[in-house]
């Protein structure tokens, strides 16, 4: 019998990586509760001037593992724990990882489009992607798992509404990253629920979407300098 960690090893590993990154930034910030913005930038937070001015594209990935404070971290890791475990049941490991990381990347691109001069961090775009993927799964299989699908979609609607209200009331929450990640995850969830072998098509499509958006944003950013 597999232990609890190996049963949901992808979700648990992602949580562990986020915790390690948080402890590292806390060490350099000399504060366990709130992170120093300069430390977050040095560790790879989203920041338009460095991404577009110095081609530091790796920040789109590294920012997914950084959090601004204890509350931010705990909220995101609890959400990942809640949605990641059932998603591992319905999706293969490579499909899960493709959805998670591409949702995070699309969320980061959306954040850059709306807030190019702001520092962006957090796993919420990727987490919303997993939630969107579950919504896609239940939409595709709603006839076969009717009652369960209806319950999930009702809860899905409530959580989305609460997050929209929270995002409107708290300026520091980046709704653009949430929406971008959710859309990428929903697309992936629908595609891979129809056929898990389409994960490569989904991945290539997302790479093209990210690259095209960044090319456009870089041109727009250069035009205002």
Give me the active site residues, please.
124, 178
**From CA 51, how far away is CA 217, in angstroms rounded?**
11
Helices 70-90 and 9-29 pack at an angle, to 10 degrees, of 170
According to DSSP, residue 64 is labeled G
Closest CA relative to residue 217, chosen from 99, 103, 117, 128? 117
**From CA 63, how far away is CA 129, in angstroms rounded?**
16
Residue 176 region, left (φ>0) first, then alpha (ψ -120 to 50), else beta? Answer: alpha
């Amino acid at each position: 019998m597999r232990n609890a960690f190996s049963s949901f090893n992808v979700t648990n590993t992602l949580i562990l990586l986020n915790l390690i990154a948080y402890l590292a930034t806390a060490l350099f910030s000399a504060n366990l509760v709130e992170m120093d913005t300069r430390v977050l930038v040095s560790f790879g937070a989203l920041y338009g001037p460095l991404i577009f001015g110095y081609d530091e594209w790796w920040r789109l990935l590294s920012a997914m593992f950084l959090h601004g404070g204890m509350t931010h971290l705990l909220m995101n890791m609890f959400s990942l724990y809640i949605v990641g475990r059932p998603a591992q049941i319905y999706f293969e490991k490579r499909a899960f990882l493709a959805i998670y990381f591409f949702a995070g990347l699309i969320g980061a691109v959306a954040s850059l489009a709306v807030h190019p001069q702001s520092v962006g961090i957090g796993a919420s775009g990727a987490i919303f992607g997993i939630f969107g993927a579950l919504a896609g799964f239940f939409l595709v299989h709603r006839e076969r798992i009717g009652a369960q699908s209806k319950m999930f979609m009702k809860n899905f609607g409530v959580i989305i509404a609460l997050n929209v209200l929270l995002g409107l009331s708290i300026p520091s929450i980046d709704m653009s990253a949430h929406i971008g990640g959710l859309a990428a995850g929903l697309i992936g969830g629908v595609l891979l629920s129809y056929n898990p072998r389409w994960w490569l098509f989904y991945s290539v499509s997302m790479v093209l979407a990210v690259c095209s958006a960044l090319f456009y944003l870089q041109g727009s950013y250069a035009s205002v300098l």
